[in-house]
Structure 1
Amino acid sequence: MFDRIAELAIRRSRLVLIVAAVAVALMGIAGAGAFSKLQGGGYDDPTSQSTRAGEAIDKKFGGETNLVLLVSAPEGRIEAPAAKHSGQALVADLKKEQHLENVVSYWDTGSPALRSKDGTNAMVLAHVKGDDTEREKNATSIIDDYTGTRQGDLTVRAGGGAAVNSDLATQSGKDLLLAEAIAVPLTLVLLLVVFGSLVAALLPLVIGIIAIAGTFAELYLLGSATDVSIFATNLTTALGLGLGIDYALLMISRFREQLATGASVDDAVRHTVRTAGRTVAFSAATVAVALAALMLFPQFFLRSFGYAGVGVVLIAAISTLFVMPALFAVLGHRVNKGRLPWAKPGRSDARAPMWGRLARTAMRRPALTALPVLAVLLVAASPLLGLTFGTPDERVLPDDAQSRQVSAALQKNFDGNDAAALHVVIDKPVSKTPLGSYAAELSKLKGVARVEASTGTYTEGQSAAAGPSNAALGRPDAQRINVVSALEPKSDAAQALVEEVRAATPPDRSNPLVGGADAELVDSKDSISSRLPLALGLIAVTTFVLLFLFTGSIVQPLRALVLNMISLGAALGVMTWMFQDGHLSSVFGFTAQPMDTSMTVLVFCIAFGLSMDYEVFVTSRIKELHDQGEDNESAVVNGLGHTGRIVSAAAVLLAVSFFAFGTAKLSFMQMFGLGSGLAILIDAIAIRGVLVPAAMRLLGRSAWYAPRPLKKLHERFGLSEGTPAPAPAAVPEPAAESAYAKDSTGV
């Protein structure tokens, strides 16, 4: 297969490039419309009880409260005549808005729960209509029109779920633009440093552009047919640019290496596709498998990253396999044109003496070199012992975000938090007596401030004054109950309250559904944890199979899985130390809170896939040398000598794309960028540089072991390069020095 690809590139190079240019243009046109198809939200399981409760409320009661307007009278009380008049006018205007329903205010009801303790603030509650995309658009329009200073010196600020999602979408767009503005120029500079040639440095950007344009086109098509998260664009740009560089770096390095040995351009193309192309194909398969596991989760936020991740990996790999060889065939030796002042004449030699010496040291003294590194990684992973999970809320936004400020004011200045109430829905007729008894029992639960039902308001098991709005909670065919607590939203106590409400004895022959923000968190954690074993099993099994087909050994896949888990544990441990425990919060400007469940799973899958990316890079060259007759130690040392610089350069370039998101204002996007970037560097340096050669030394010949039946299976189905091409001549090794003592810079 790879020989046919090489011949196509050699004989029809210009045709391949023309087809690629047309495809990129078409993908760019389609991809330009992707943002109009993508949505916010997507953190909830659509089959969960909380989601079904929300759907029932939308259908029967006009929707849950998702917009809270906090009205302030800074110079007086909210009951003052001028404030009252302005407040009533505000509410009247809101009730005329076609995108709002269930508008309830302090001035309508006189309910003390809608007035602050000091009497200077009042709430207006409403439901913004529409699906996730429409709701976000409608909420943004309402917020723009009604917030700020109004007649009567009232100040209006917006909070609630719809306002939070609006702020998230706005901030996400800003964060993405800033990350790209940092990553792209810095990446270009680093490419020039790595390659020392202007032409060679620009080639990886070609693959990155194709991967990004193709994935945006894919997201446009998928967004037209199903729910796709707007945050998938962040992964598309970071991974598209990074993997495009990774794969192109490997191909360019091998092509230039072959030219340096005196091979003709055509032979260099053939050998590059047969060797580096094979590595790219296997690498892409392992990364795609890890990201495909995200599609097992019901939350379309996670599934969207699976769509984008698999798409960008496959498009990057396909374009690398077809476009890059065609470019090589056209450019030939001109791939080295535009040599920069710091580039040395021997730049095409990819061998790195430092990596060769490091590998030899690790193999000769495996315990002395590996144990300190292993100890550091395990210490870094130790914060995972106290790991707790949550879901995104207003605290992921910067302190000056309006919706976050409103949430803080509601918790501090009001009795109970109506915006964070639990919503109980009974989707059938219920008589008043059992309904009242059920509501009274719920009001006795620890942490409950009050319970609102159509039969009245209850506190501590007793009926209180019924507000005028309570009648709207009952219908002949359904009942709704609001359980308002004084607990901190999404705290352990608030989650425990969800379970207690669900465990309470309901009226006869009824099956209440419990929703609300805290219920959504409980359901989200249950949903992800129930599917996580299947996702991990899929990743482990498919990775094992792919690496077996790649190496012909059952030991190499096991070694790779163990070492990858160590590096991932260290990276996620550091993220827990930062984002959950609060270290470095003042530096990056985030608020410590439980780890975002979805984002933690996402970082794991991305980091695992990219770890396997570098695993394949290194193992490919080691196996190639081993198949050519080198012993285990020589193959590892020479293999790392050839690939160490490629892996380290690729890791730095890819990490830059992710680290750029460390500048984000959304804390979960900071964790996404910093966690992924850190995992990449740990894997490329500590794992590939030290632990892999140490493990290979300890394993010895058994590193390539496979039972006889599996050997035959690999001979039949494993993907090999056929008759190995001779390796470039090695530099003779002095007795006390590495085979790579000769200095070389670049790739």
Structure 2
Amino acid sequence: MAQVGVSWWLLRVTRFVSGLRGLLRGVKTLGRLVSHHPWAILLVWLLAALLSIPFAARAPAALNADPAGGLTDAEATRVTALLRERFNERDTNTVVLVTRSQPPLTTEAGQTTYQTFLDGLEEVAGVTRVTGAQAGGPLPTQAGDGVLALTLAQIPLEDGATETLRRVRAYAERAESAALDIRVTGGQAIADDFTEFAESDTKRSELTALPLIGVLLLLVFGALVATGLPLAVGMLSISVAMAGLYGLTRVMEVSTFAQSVITMLGLGAGIDYALLMVNRFREELKRVPSPRQAAERTVQTAGRSVAFSGLTVAIAMGGLILPPISFVRSIGIGGVLAVLLTVLASLTALPAMLALLGERVNSPRLLTLTWAQSGEASAAWTTFARRVTARPWAAVLASAALLLVLAAPAFQMRTGYAGAWGLTPGVESRDALKDVEALGAGGLLSQFEVVLDLQGQRYGPADRAKFQALVEDLRGLDGVKGVLSPFVTPADLTDTAGSSNADALAALSVLTTRSFSQDRTLLRVTVVPDRTLRAREIPQLETQLRRKLEASGYAYLLGGAPIGGEEFSRAITGSLPTVILAVFAGTFLLLMVAFRSLLIPLKSILMNALTVGAAAGVVTLVVQNGVLAAPLGIPADVGVLDASLPVLLFAVMFGLSMDYEIFLLSRVQEEHLRGASNDEAVVLAVGHTARIITSAAIIMLIVFTAFIFGRVVASKSIGLGLAVAVALDATLVRLVLVPAFLKLAGRWNWWLPAWLDRRLPHIRLEH
């Protein structure tokens, strides 16, 4: 059996290697094609960009911020389906409108103004039911002074929800006056604000980052044309990738974060690859007379490193496709799409432009002294490398200790769906929630829906006592404000809002209707907490509810917004080991083939994991614990990290950090194959690549930092995590820890079993 297992593994490795060898041969052929037909290549890209623009523009509006997106078999999803199909609930999506009245509702003038507002709200297309402050209910809907009040508007749960909410918000703006201030919140409002601000934050990040990146590239190249080419490649790949993302929304739920990932990869990796290609082309122009030959040579050398680096990023992003969660898979597919298009643009559109520009790539020359990349080694970085490798143990232990200290807070990481608290103050849906809580009605946005199954029997008189006993048990739990069921008293319906007996009876009739399925074989209870639950508070109340439900003897399903958020968080957390193992396996094979070593892939995986861990620890310290949160514009009351953050941070950063790894290790291998000793090869490699790595890292840092200053805390967290990770990776890890480790490992860096060495092809990477 063991022999069969080894044979199967070798077959898979052989196929992987054959595919990799074919990829590199394809790069060579591609270089010849591009250099001979540059105008045709550019025309194809121009048509692709023009066709992509209208679809790319529609993509942001089609994205989804639903925390339970894609969990079709989740308990909360099944509860929602039962309410729709068996209880005929088509409008369980509640919009909460908070009004401030001057004069107050306790006056006749205030009541008249408020009633006019209610009458107009009922006429808004898509609104199926309006519950005003004076209608009563088991929750307070009006402050004692009559100034603050809540109005509930029911809108469709799925189709048309966003459009209806837009109409409600537009009506609220029109209805506002000196006598009535109106603010809108609710689950749909919060989710739509996430999507809207994620889109606007992404656009603002692009506009902020591009000028800064342009200045940096000008310092690198000194020429305006060379500076503009990487920017053009980045924007080209982003526009086509966004059009592809829109196509993806037609067949599956697509996460709001997919747009941010595409922008990060398109700008960061795209500009890095273009920087490498443009620099190599300028070098080749000095060696060959023809610009087209220089472009072909650029694709065949630097293009191989670009293709290989892009493959590592694609493997990392592809790990997100494995979990059976469409919300996460969409991010993975979007990331892979962005990487592949970025690599394709770098290997086709960019060299085509270079072939046509020739020496004009160096004009107009604006700076004579530049932070230029060249094939010459940097004396300063060479000296630095000699000092690091002179004391390798000190360098390894000190840098590893620092990374572990930074990673320590990640062990106390709490993940979940932050809801409105995941938006920054100043966003209407978040700010209005404060007023809802002031009224003691915060639980309206954290309701638990319970569906009890009578096992095919119809509800009869004998079930009344059992059902009522369960309702009373649920009502008596700590943290429960009220329970919506047929078993309420007139006092429950009148004591908080002063409604009439007729109003109370009407409300009781509605409660009775909503509590029984149409065939009376399912019972429904809605449990309303005494406050808006934070993610960290949900598990405790959920546990209490389940204990009571299990003790009741009923078969049940527990749903509602809190359960949906928790299920999504658990699904994401549960998928992380699968993603990590898949990415580790793919990366190990790739690096083993490239560098013909077993130790180097293991070292790369370990050190990249340390970098990601350190970044996760810093994000936990800032976002969850509030350390230095205020200067970064992060609210101190978030309390949890978005459930998607750990898996996103791992996939994106693990893939991108491999760029620096390949830049450095390919040069170490090259110097070693030329005959340099292991120690000297490491020093020479750092001297030759440190400027490329630091330049690329600063570009990445600018892109990621721009996301920190948005209004969606999850996007801010991802930007912060990636900024910290790239800063650590390009300095402490790549220029201190890795060289010191390579020095200590010595000849074991290049050890490969003889039987495996014979089976692997020789692949040469150049930059």
Whether TM exceeds 0.5 here: the answer is yes
- Are positions 1:64 and 2:92 aligned together? yes
Q: Shift of residue 684 of structure 1? A: 0.9
1:27 is aligned to 52
Partner Cα distance (2:372, 2:316) in 1: 38
1:571 is aligned to 615
- Change in Cα spacing, 1:148 to 1:448, as seen in structure 2 (3 Å) is farther
Which residues of 2 match residues 420-435 of structure 1 at below 5 A?
420-426=446-452, 429-430=458-459, 431-435=463-467
- Change in Cα spacing, 1:219 to 1:457, as seen in structure 2 (3 Å) is farther
Partner Cα distance (1:387, 1:18) in 2: 50
Say if 1:66 and 1:160, in contact at 8 Å, map to a contact too: yes
2:265 is aligned to 239
**SS of corresponding position for 1:479:** strand
2:690 is aligned to 644
- Are positions 1:337 and 2:369 aligned together? no
Say if 2:125 and 2:167, in contact at 8 Å, map to a contact too: no
Which residues of 2 match residues 308-707 of structure 1 at below 5 A?
308-343=334-369, 348-414=374-440, 417-426=443-452, 429-430=458-459, 431-456=463-488, 468=508, 469-475=510-516, 476-477=518-519, 478-505=522-549, 510-592=554-636, 593-707=639-753
Q: Shift of residue 152 of structure 1? A: 9.4
Q: Shift of residue 196 of structure 1? A: 1.4
Answer with 8-17 or 669-678: which moved more: 8-17
Which of the residues 36, 46, 53 maps onto 2:79? 53
- Change in Cα spacing, 1:404 to 1:31, as seen in structure 2 (3 Å) is closer
Partner Cα distance (2:374, 2:442) in 1: 68
2:18 is aligned to none
- Change in Cα spacing, 1:415 to 1:345, as seen in structure 2 (3 Å) is closer
Q: List per-residue Cα deviations over 1:617-637 (Å, max 9, x = no partner).
A: 222222222233322222222
1:101 is aligned to 128
Partner Cα distance (2:236, 2:688) in 1: 28
Aligned residues: 717
Q: Shift of residue 459 of structure 1? A: 12
Q: Shift of residue 360 of structure 1? A: 2.1
Answer with 207-216 or 27-36: which moved more: 27-36
Answer with 443-452 or 269-278: which moved more: 269-278
Quick one: which amino acid aligns to residue 276 of structure 1?
Answer: A
1:713 is aligned to 759
- Change in Cα spacing, 1:173 to 1:87, as seen in structure 2 (3 Å) is same
1:214 is aligned to 240
Q: Shift of residue 488 of structure 1? A: 5.0
CA RMSD of aligned residues (A): 2.9
Q: Shift of residue 502 of structure 1? A: 2.6
Q: List per-residue Cα deviations over 1:488-522 (Å, max 9, x = no partner).
A: 51253432111221333359885322222321232
Q: Shift of residue 523 of structure 1? A: 0.9
Q: List per-residue Cα deviations over 1:509-561 (Å, max 9, x = no partner).
A: 85322222321232122211221111111111111111112111111111001
Work out the percentage of aligned pairs sharing the same amino acid. 31
Say if 2:142 and 2:150, in contact at 8 Å, map to a contact too: yes
- Identify unmatched segments of 5+ residues in structure 2: 1-24, 497-503
- Are positions 1:202 and 2:228 aligned together? yes
Partner Cα distance (2:645, 2:539) in 1: 20
- Change in Cα spacing, 1:405 to 1:335, as seen in structure 2 (3 Å) is closer
- Change in Cα spacing, 1:267 to 1:695, as seen in structure 2 (3 Å) is farther
Say if 1:451 and 1:458, in contact at 8 Å, map to a contact too: no
**SS of corresponding position for 2:426:** coil
Q: Shift of residue 688 of structure 1? A: 0.8
Partner Cα distance (2:271, 2:490) in 1: 63
Q: Shift of residue 659 of structure 1? A: 0.9
Partner Cα distance (1:579, 1:508) in 2: 40
Partner Cα distance (2:565, 2:471) in 1: 23
Q: List per-residue Cα deviations over 1:240-284 (Å, max 9, x = no partner).
A: 121111111122223333444578656644543333211111111
Q: Shift of residue 707 of structure 1? A: 1.5
Partner Cα distance (2:491, 2:526) in 1: 12
Partner Cα distance (2:107, 2:54) in 1: 57
1:273 is aligned to 299
**SS of corresponding position for 1:225:** coil
Partner Cα distance (2:92, 2:33) in 1: 60
- Change in Cα spacing, 1:472 to 1:405, as seen in structure 2 (3 Å) is farther
Partner Cα distance (1:562, 1:137) in 2: 48
Quick one: which amino acid aligns to residue 48 of structure 2?
Answer: A
Quick one: which amino acid aligns to residue 6 of structure 1?
Answer: G
Say if 1:9 and 1:16, in contact at 8 Å, map to a contact too: yes
Compute the TM-score of the two structures, normalised by the length of structure 1: 0.89
Answer with 379-388 or 107-116: which moved more: 107-116
Q: List per-residue Cα deviations over 1:160-181 (Å, max 9, x = no partner).
A: 1112123323323332232122
- Change in Cα spacing, 1:625 to 1:18, as seen in structure 2 (3 Å) is farther
- Change in Cα spacing, 1:303 to 1:708, as seen in structure 2 (3 Å) is same
Partner Cα distance (1:388, 1:346) in 2: 44
Q: List per-residue Cα deviations over 1:126-172 (Å, max 9, x = no partner).
A: 3321537x322321220221257657934332111112123323323
Say if 1:396 and 1:667, in contact at 8 Å, map to a contact too: yes
**SS of corresponding position for 2:616:** helix
1:187 is aligned to 213
Partner Cα distance (1:458, 1:610) in 2: 63
Answer with 467-476 or 158-167: which moved more: 467-476
Partner Cα distance (1:511, 1:259) in 2: 76
2:32 is aligned to 7
Partner Cα distance (1:435, 1:210) in 2: 62
Q: List per-residue Cα deviations over 1:14-33 (Å, max 9, x = no partner).
A: 33333333333333344333
- Change in Cα spacing, 1:81 to 1:229, as seen in structure 2 (3 Å) is same
Partner Cα distance (1:639, 1:528) in 2: 39
- Are positions 1:121 and 2:148 aligned together? yes
